[in-house]
Structure 1
């Protein structure tokens, strides 16, 4: 194996335990963020403030499960401006995080269905 292959080799991500208390807590925080409207600049700014609070504490508050969290969480926390303008991207990100954005009782043992998305800020 080449030197570069060795230093850039990644271990497989551990399986995410959806019943772990830290995952349950993170899921609740992500659902609260997801429920916030992002239709106006002010709403996006408020969302960004809350997302930044979570992003800053992500490793510390969820360190027991951090290595098993999907990388897409980081994108979700910083891409609100894109989601606000692009419903397709918003749907894609929600589908990537469906396990964490679904309520615990909605998570069957088999692969979950993508959660229905409504446009942020609409009823």
Structure 2
């Protein structure tokens, strides 16, 4: 099933996991959009440097530490994704509570592992 995914914390640096996640999402034919610090393109996916009001986001996969996530709380809630994936190093109990209050599922997992084991 196709799950439109927002990579939040996307990087143009191909050594970063967010960059690799974009590449693997595209390879797995998952519709992918991205927001990061710097605008650019990775594997044909535009990285926006502003919070774009995307529609029909199924999954947000986080590549921002808890402190950096704070400015995105309202944005994440407003997008109303079905789920948020907290990749290793992004765990955030404050955001967990906000997601629960807004009936948004979340999980601590690794997007790359999920994709490679067909659990995405």
TM-score by length of 1: 0.29
When you count helix as a share of all residues, which structure comes out higher? Answer: 1
TM-score by length of 2: 0.30
Greater RCO (CA < 8 Å, at least 6 residues apart): 1
